[in-house]
Amino acid sequence: EQQIWEQLKTCFDPEIPVNIVDLGLIYSLEIAPDPEQPGKGKRVGVKMTLTAPGCGMGPTIAEDARQKILGVPGVSSAQVDLVWDPPWNPSLISEQGKMRLGMV
């Protein structure tokens, strides 16, 4: 799981110099055995949001996250879903993210 979080930290919204984890865009990360590859791989499901529902980069950011997850050894499939509830707000940004944005 830690490797997946580390990979997600390499994904960025092109308009904001903070990764999607520190921005608080990742709402959930679930890892389960992949029923299509018993004993061989894990299926990873991520629910994430964006800073604004109208962000045109949403599908691109989600696909980037999916590809990075698929690069983790032992992961056989990955699904990244964009969700809008609860709406994102700046309080979800990590302390590290706030420092990078000059909010602290």
Which tokens in the block code for residue 40? 């061989």
Write down the CATH number for the domain with range 2-85: 3.30.300.130
Contact in structure between 34 and 76 (CB atoms under 8 Å): yes
Q: Of 47, 13, 1, nearest to 27 (Cα)?
A: 47
What are the sequence ranges of the domains in the chain? 2-85
With bands split at pLDDT 50, 70 and 90, how would you rate the model's confidence at 55?
A: confident
**pTM, two decimal places:** 0.92
| Cα Rg of the chain, angstroms | 14
Provide the residue count of the chain.
104
In the prediction, which pLDDT does 64 show? Answer: 98
Tell me the per-residue pLDDT of 77-104, one tens digit each, with 9 for 90 and over.
Answer: 999 999 999 999 999 999 999 999 999 8
